[in-house]
């Protein structure tokens, strides 16, 4: 069973906003550097990204809101799958536009069928992500009950558990130090050759 780690909401917001600002900064640099290059492929890709900045911001905020709701406790996390599904549909729409850009760049209609299938793809992605999100919420609700049952059951000592030695953190640290030393020795010997 997957274990979920509790994330702080300010940490989620800071990380996602930082990622968005980093992307916008890199796009700004790419826009300024495009004046120094005479590459039509580079220009078309940057123009594509400039035309779809709003869509990328919407994708970021849809997933951000979904992740914020997902970090909350049970009754408050119910909107999370909806926002994740909206974000997934927007992301698939962006990917379809990227394939359309490939068609333009390659002068072919290889991915033209995606436009015709988009009315099937969008609802399918929305429903799958929505159902998957609610299944995860239900699984997280049921999972603590199963762990309580395991804790209340009496433990049976077997011969294998009696013969096991107790491993301490010092043993783990010593093994880790030895592994790092062996790795560095191996690297040093390969560099000398």
Three-state secondary-structure class, residue 80: helix
Say whether pTM exceeds 0.85. no
In a domain, 4, yes or no: no
Residue 167 forms part of a structural domain: no
What is the DSSP code (8-state) at residue 150?
Answer: H
**Residue-wise pLDDT tens digits, 42-82:** 888 888 888 999 999 999 999 998 888 888 777 778 888 99
Residue 193 has pLDDT above 90, yes or no: no
Q: Looking at the predicted structure, is the pLDDT value of residue 185 above 50?
A: yes
Domain that holds residue 130: 9-152
How many domains does one find in the chain? 1
In this structure, is residue 140 part of a structural domain? Answer: yes
- What b/e string do you get for 105-115 counting C-beta neighbours within 10 Å, with b at 16 or more? eeeeeeeeebe
Q: What percent of the chain has pLDDT over 90?
A: 20
88 domain-assigned? yes
């Amino acid at each position: 069973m997957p274990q979920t780690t509790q994330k702080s909401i300010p940490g989620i917001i800071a990380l996602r906003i930082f990622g968005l600002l980093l992307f916008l900064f890199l796009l700004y640099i790419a826009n300024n550097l495009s004046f120094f290059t005479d590459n039509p492929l580079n220009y078309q890709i940057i123009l594509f990204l400039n035309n779809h900045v709003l869509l990328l911001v919407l994708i970021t905020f849809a997933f951000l809101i979904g992740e914020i709701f997902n970090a909350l406790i049970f009754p408050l996390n119910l909107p999370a799958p909806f926002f994740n599904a909206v974000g997934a549909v927007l992301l698939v729409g962006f990917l379809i536009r990227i394939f359309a850009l490939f068609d333009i760049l390659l002068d072919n209609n290889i991915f033209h069928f995606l436009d015709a299938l988009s009315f099937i793809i969008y609802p399918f992605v929305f429903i799958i992500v929505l159902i998957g999100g609610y299944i995860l919420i239900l699984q997280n609700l049921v999972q603590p009950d199963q762990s309580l049952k395991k804790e209340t059951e009496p433990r049976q000592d077997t011969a294998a558990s009696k013969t096991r030695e107790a491993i301490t953190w010092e043993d783990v640290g010593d093994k880790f130090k030895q592994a790092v030393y062996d790795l560095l020795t191996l690297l040093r010997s390969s560099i000398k050759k």
